[in-house]
Amino acid sequence: MKRVVPLADARDLPIHKRPVTLLFLMAIAMPLSFATWSALLNNFVIEVAQFDGADIGWLHTVREIPGFLAIGVIAVILFVREQTLAMISLAMLGIATGMTAYFPSMGGLLFVTLISSIGFHYYETVNQSLQLQWLPKDRAPQMLGLLVSAASAATLVAYGVIVVTWRAYDLSYNFVYMVSGALTLIIVAYCVLMMPHFEAPNPQVKKFILRKRYWLYYALQFMSGARRQIFVVFAAFMMVERFGLGVDEITKLMLVTLMANMVLAPVLGQIVHRFGERNAMAVEYAGLVVVFVLYGGIYWFGWGVMLATVLYIVNNIFFALALALKTYFQKIADPGDIAPTAAVAFTINHIAAVFLPAVLGYLWLVSPGAVFGLAAAMALVSLILALMIPRHPEPGNETVFSVYVPAPAE
């Protein structure tokens, strides 16, 4: 049986066995599979599986079903430690990514995407919970920024290899998917064999909870999922469908985005720490309103690929500020609520994601600009909600409407 180490004692462990090291290894392992899958996906489904806008919408709808069902994590952690569930989920993601090119049809891709998505979404749910449990509040924004940088660095390596070798060595989709999945599995094996189990000081509530004082956090999560889904599904798809970018060109675009995130993510973490979650999210959402309106202009006014490229990069930089939503919740939450609320929040985040890609896939066939116009409206709603966050959120002071009292027992 693996050794269980209380979190307070983990600081005495060698650096390669500490909780923060495990967080960084997981931050690296996930994008090696997921980012590679994403980079190749649009070219793969168009060139090999002959997808159109409606097909890609259905694929992403199926991909988001496990996110909607992330609340099931609460049941799973009754029997499995969160850390163990994170390892199982990462292994599922790695295996499914490696198998992707063996299923070049609508039905086959829906199946393998569902498996990889269960791994991805359950990993993301418990990873967020572990981050908020293991990182001290006064350092969480900075550390989350560094974790974003680590994930970006891993993705940068994956994309860099694709750019350099894709045409030079005439690589196949199958080879790239297999290698990326295998690398994730190697890191998982190290974490399973070398890391102890870490025990946080606050036992997590292992039941469904929905607290009314978290209502603003829930609302922001819902809008975040709806708005982000439009970008994830249609932004890169547009670059291939409208402008005909190849695998190496799409990957170069993602490389530039990642390099920007590697440099800026720690800075953004410092900004959140310095100026607070409300101001950081207000800047993010106001910026996204402008970005999505300009995306619509590409179709309404026939603007070119250079603007689309700039918008794609800027959009991703704004998304890096999403760490502010995590630290907002960390500040207002009861310590034992983190794991169950992470699961509930993931489900709320994916409510719109389950139906939006399929519905908007059909709207895309009629008016792609309208899809991005809808995203701009969602960003505006998010901005209004963000302005309801107090300057110093804490239990009992969750919104600007709160009359500050100690958080009630529920």
Q: Residue 216: is its pLDDT beyond 50?
A: yes
Distance from chain centroid for Cα 369: 25
Output 399 or 168, whichever has higher pLDDT.
Answer: 399
Q: How far apart are CA 176 and CA 248, in angstroms?
A: 13
User: What residues are paired with 4 via a beta bridge?
Assistant: 197
Give the number of other CB atoms < 10 A from CB of residue 279.
Answer: 17
Q: How far apart are CA 23 and CA 367, in angstroms?
A: 42
Locate the DSSP E strands across 7-116: none
> According to the model, what pLDDT value does residue 171 have?
80
Q: How far is CA 285 from CA 279, 375, 384, in A?
A: 10, 11, 9
Q: What secondary structure does DSSP assign to 292-316, as a single string?
A: HHHHHHHHHS---HHHHHHHHHHHH
**Of how many residues is the chain composed?**
410
Q: How far apart are CA 131 and CA 148, in angstroms?
A: 12
> What mean pLDDT, rounded, does the chain reach?
85
Q: How far apart are CA 153 and CA 265, in angstroms?
A: 11
End-to-end CA distance of the chain: 36
Q: How far apart are CA 227 and CA 157, in angstroms?
A: 28
pLDDT in tens, 31-69: 999 988 888 887 888 887 777 777 877 887 788 788 777
Q: Residue 30: is its pLDDT beyond 50?
A: yes
Q: pTM for the whole thing?
A: 0.74
Output 79 or 204, whichever has higher pLDDT.
Answer: 79
pLDDT in tens, 281-308: 999 999 999 999 999 999 998 888 899 9
Q: Which amino acid is at 335?
A: P
